[in-house]
């Protein structure tokens, strides 16, 4: 879908929000609607069409804006949001929507003074559109996931995951391999957690040395063309103990149940429950301490949230993670995570590394 088509889809939501235009200030949303990748910009999406809409950035990005946003009139001004708020009334806007979920109180005051017309809270409109990915977005996510798969396979083949290395060394090695395979950066700070650290869901790598018998949890992703991949695998260094096999098998069963529950129309709380129920029936419900998953795209965490406090239902084209985990304090934990597209014909996996227990 082109950026102009995305803006047209947004216009269809403006009437329901009770506004004549939306001032878009979240840079991720600006990128989604225009293709602009710079660090300072705002966008006025007018209900009357692109002819009355305006894009604004500062002089550093004049050339870049001409290349990335050729189909909108561009305003060059440092204070982008304030400038577009000033111009809104002259463009026939009587009620100006703003992204109240991201605008600070001070910024709101400045916009109100500049606009001279009523500002109306209009949170989450662009995020609602972003939740369903078009074919181009899914392809970017597919490439990002392929980079993660390739980097992990290469790390394992090279013997990079072995006793004697530190968590920090392995995490850096994996991130460098993702870059070598085409990632512009890691999608987020790699989680590399060994031994008892694997029981900490978002452990940050340290100089802890990996040891034989450790559970090692790798949660990582690649950033490709602005889109993020997300995958977690948990392996054992050497031969797995019985308790490690049992824990991994339980999480694998829960993960399979969660993936199977992904379908258009499925309530996100029901999808979470499908996986969580497997863990609860095994008597380990209190050790599954987070939601089942989240949307992924231009941000590593975006709508929808698939968890016990999530709201709404899935739609075809949404891309979500499925990542149950069970964490035994002081011993170790297991998480298995895939990035999955919701399809009418059944879920499509974008991450393909085996979910079987690996003993390396």
Residues 147, 177: contact at Cβ < 8 Å? Answer: no
Q: Give the burial string for 330-355 (b: 16+ CB within 10 Å, else e).
A: eebbbbbbbbbbbeeeebeebbebeb
Q: In this structure, are strands 96-98 and 119-121 parallel, antiparallel, or unpaired?
A: parallel
Q: Which band of pLDDT confidence, cut at 50, 70 and 90, is reported for residue 126? A: very high
Q: Which band of pLDDT confidence, cut at 50, 70 and 90, is reported for residue 320? A: very high
Domain architecture of the chain: domains with CATH: 3-130 (3.40.350.10), 135-349 (3.90.230.10)
Please state, rounded to an integer, the average pLDDT across all residues of the chain.
98
Query: Other C-beta atoms within 10 Å of 174: how many?
Result: 22
Residues 6+ apart with CB under 8 A from 105: none
Polymer length in residues for the chain: 360
126-139 average pLDDT score: 98
Query: Other C-beta atoms within 10 Å of 265: how many?
Result: 11
108-118 average pLDDT score: 96
Token digits of residue 201: 């869901």
Token digits of residue 348: 């499509």
Rounded CA separation 221/186 (Å): 6
Rounded CA separation 88/84 (Å): 6
Q: Which band of pLDDT confidence, cut at 50, 70 and 90, is reported for residue 264? A: very high
- pLDDT for 48-81, tens place per residue? 999 999 999 999 999 999 999 999 999 999 999 9
As to burial, measured by CB atoms within 10 angstroms (0-12 exposed, 13-18 middle, 19+ buried), residue 208 is middle
Angle at alpha carbon of residue 220, lines to 195 and 320, rounded to 5°: 120
Return the percentage of the chain with pLDDT > 90, whole number. Answer: 100
Q: Which band of pLDDT confidence, cut at 50, 70 and 90, is reported for residue 4? A: very high
Cα-only R_g, the chain: 23
Residues 54, 91: contact at Cβ < 8 Å? Answer: yes
78-101 average pLDDT score: 97
Amino acid 341: pLDDT = 98
Q: Which band of pLDDT confidence, cut at 50, 70 and 90, is reported for residue 92? A: very high
CA neighbor of 299 nearest in space, from 26, 12, 34, 81: 26
CA neighbor of 145 nearest in space, from 204, 220, 233: 220
Return the percentage of the chain with pLDDT > 70, whole number. Answer: 100
Query: DSSP secondary-structure letter at 166?
Result: B
In this prediction the pTM is 0.96
């Amino acid at each position: 879908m082109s950026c102009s088509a995305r803006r047209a889809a947004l216009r269809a939501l403006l009437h329901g929000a009770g506004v004549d235009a939306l001032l878009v200030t979240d840079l991720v949303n600006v990128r989604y609607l225009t293709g602009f990748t710079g660090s300072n910009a705002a966008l006025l999406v007018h209900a009357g069409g692109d002819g009355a809409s305006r894009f604004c950035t500062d002089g550093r990005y004049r050339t870049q804006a001409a290349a990335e946003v050729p189909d909108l009139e561009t305003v060059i001004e440092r204070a982008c949001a304030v400038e577009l708020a000033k111009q809104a009334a002259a463009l026939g806007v009587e009620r100006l929507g703003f992204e109240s979920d991201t605008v600070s109180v001070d910024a709101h005051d400045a916009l109100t003074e500049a606009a001279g017309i009523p500002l109306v809270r209009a949170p989450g409109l662009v995020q609602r559109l972003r939740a369903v990915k078009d074919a181009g977005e899914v392809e970017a996510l597919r490439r990002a996931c392929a980079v993660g798969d390739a980097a992990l396979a290469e790390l394992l083949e090279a013997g990079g995951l072995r006793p004697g290395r530190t968590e920090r060394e392995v995490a850096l090695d994996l991130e460098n391999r993702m870059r070598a395979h085409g990632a512009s950066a890691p999608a987020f700070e790699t989680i590399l957690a060994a031994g008892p650290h694997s029981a900490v869901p978002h452990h940050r790598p340290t100089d802890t040395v990996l040891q034989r018998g450790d559970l090692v949890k790798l949660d990582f992703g690649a950033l490709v063309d602005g889109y993020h991949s997300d995958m977690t695998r948990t392996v054992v260094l050497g031969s797995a103990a019985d308790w490690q096999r049992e824990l991994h098998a339980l999480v694998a069963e829960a993960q399979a149940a969660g993936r199977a529950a992904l379908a258009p129309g499925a309530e996100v709380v029901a999808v979470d429950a499908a996986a969580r129920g497997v863990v609860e029936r095994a008597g380990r419900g209190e050790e599954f301490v987070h939601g089942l998953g989240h949307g992924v795209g231009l941000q590593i965490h975006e709508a929808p949230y698939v968890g016990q406090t999530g709201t709404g239902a899935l739609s075809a084209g949404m891309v979500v993670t499925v990542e149950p985990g069970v964490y035994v304090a002081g011993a170790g934990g297991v998480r298995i995570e895939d990035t999955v597209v919701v399809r009418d014909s059944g879920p499509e996996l974008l991450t393909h590394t085996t979910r079987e227990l690996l003993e390396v």
